[in-house]
Amino acid sequence: MTKRLFKALVTSAILGMGGATAAGAAECIAPANPGGGWDFTCRQIGKIMYDIGAVDKPVQVTNMAGAGGGLAFNHVVTERKDDADLIVAASSATSTRLAQNAYAGMTADQVRFVGAIGADPGVIVVAADSPYKNLNDLIEDVRANPGKVAFAGGSAVGGFDHIKPLMILQRAGINDVKAIKYIGVDGGADAITQTVGGFTQAMTGDMSEIVGFLKSGDVRALAVLTEERVPGFEDIPTAKEQGIDVVAVNWRGLYIPKDVSDETFNMWADRLQAVADSPEWKEAMAANGLAPFTKVGGDFQSYVDGVVAEIRTLSKEIGVIQ
């Protein structure tokens, strides 16, 4: 045991010096503690990039937790703004927080979003005994009586889980989003408990959060917010085929510093594409409940810009930002 403890101490000492990475090897910053989604992104993408030969040295992973990714963002913007060997894990949470000015005034255009390869699809679910049989039942009830239907989700007010039903309702022509009740609880499981218990009428979250409850039969998924039905969950209809054109997924991707050359930007985009095409990544996605969602390079940058703009507008309407 003492040996193990000693090893752990040495490891943490080395990790602590992670900032001083040897030149040449790429570094991936996970803006959270080990174990979360961002950490997964860095470790999996970094490992596969090395395994398939897209990079010639193993990618170093640095964990820089704090302020919901804000500390890492600040670090990249102020201290590493032209570092060509740096990639940073990002997700919908990153773009949502940037759109809502949650990173102390820093904005999405201070870095370059290089690509996303995989996503956790957004879902809207109700309790198994709920009167709502499809998405439009729910929407019509909200239209008739906005105060009666409350949503529960795993993110804070104004977070991505809150935004999802609002996007759906706006597309359906319900514009008074402020009247829509939403409570943010501690994670998707908690949100489902509240919904099954009858305290809220619907739950908004990610596919990975509801899998267990779908199996146990406690909930019914009304819609999945993707372009096409998700492999493995073919019986859940998309919002799109129910006439509501909303795609909202929790993507997993990367950003890089602002002041790198276009060649560097394209190089990382190509590497990411190579990872997306690899069988290793497909395996990793399946094991972690991710659906295919590949957008790299300029395509992805404009997607993120669009998402940030839409969330900013919505956030202003619900009063999360001024």
Partner 1 sequence: MELLANLATGFGIALSPFTLMLAVFGCFIGTIIGALPGLGPSNGVAILIPLTFSMGLDATSALVLMTAVYYGAMYGGRISSILLNIPGDEPALMTTLDGYPMAKAGRAGDALVISGVASFTGAFLSTVGLMLLAPLLARIAFQFGPAEYFALYLLAFATLGGIASNNQAKAAIASCIGLGISMIGVDNNSGLPRLTFGNMHLFDGVDFLVAIVGLFAIAEVFFFIESHGKNTSIGVKLEKITVPWKDIWDTRWTQLRCSLVGFVAGVLPGAGASLGSFLAYMSEKSLAGDKAGFGTGVAKGVAAPEAGNNAAAGGALVPMLTLGVPGSGTTAVLLALLMTLNITPGPTLFTERPEVVWGLIASLLIANFVLLLMNVPMVKVFVKILSVPPWVLLPGVTMISFVGIYSLSGSYFDLLLMVAFGVLGWVLRKLDVPTVPIILGILLGGHMEDALRRAMVLSDGDWTYLFSSGIAITLWIVAVAGFVAPMFLRGVLKKPQRITD
Would you tell me which residues interact with partner 1 (CB under 8 A)? 1, 4-5, 8-9, 11-12, 15-16, 33, 35-36, 63, 65-68, 70-71, 74, 100, 102, 104, 147, 150, 156-159, 181-187, 189-190, 192-194, 196-200, 212, 216, 320-321
Residue 111 Cβ vs partner 1, minimum distance, rounded to whole Å:
17
Residue 183 Cβ vs partner 1, minimum distance, rounded to whole Å:
4
Indicate the residue among 16 and 24 with the shorter CB distance to partner 1.
Answer: 16
Indicate the residue among 67 and 274 with the shorter CB distance to partner 1.
Answer: 67
Residue 67 Cβ vs partner 1, minimum distance, rounded to whole Å:
4
Indicate the residue among 157 and 299 with the shorter CB distance to partner 1.
Answer: 157
Residue 282 Cβ vs partner 1, minimum distance, rounded to whole Å:
25
The one-letter amino acid code at 229 reads R
Residue 13 Cβ vs partner 1, minimum distance, rounded to whole Å:
9
CA distance 222 to 14: 48
- The sign one gets for the Cα dihedral 307, 309, 313, 319 is positive
Q: Report in angstroms the alpha-carbon separations of 108 from 9, 22, 76, 156, 258.
A: 37, 28, 12, 20, 10
Give 197's contacts (C-beta < 8 A, 6+ positions apart): none
Indicate the residue among 158 and 257 with the shorter CB distance to partner 1.
Answer: 158
Indicate the residue among 43 and 282 with the shorter CB distance to partner 1.
Answer: 43
Indicate the residue among 182 and 300 with the shorter CB distance to partner 1.
Answer: 182
CA distance 152 to 195: 7
Residue 193 Cβ vs partner 1, minimum distance, rounded to whole Å:
6
Indicate the residue among 52 and 189 with the shorter CB distance to partner 1.
Answer: 189
Give 238's contacts (C-beta < 8 A, 6+ positions apart): 223, 224, 225, 226, 227, 228, 229
**Helical pair 135-144 and 160-171, crossing angle rounded to 10 deg:** 80
Indicate the residue among 182 and 268 with the shorter CB distance to partner 1.
Answer: 182
**Residue of 73, 61, 114 lying closest to 260 (CA atoms):** 114
Residue 159's CB: how many other CB atoms inside 10 A? 22
Give 231's contacts (C-beta < 8 A, 6+ positions apart): 291
Residue 294 Cβ vs partner 1, minimum distance, rounded to whole Å:
28
Residue 107 Cβ vs partner 1, minimum distance, rounded to whole Å:
16
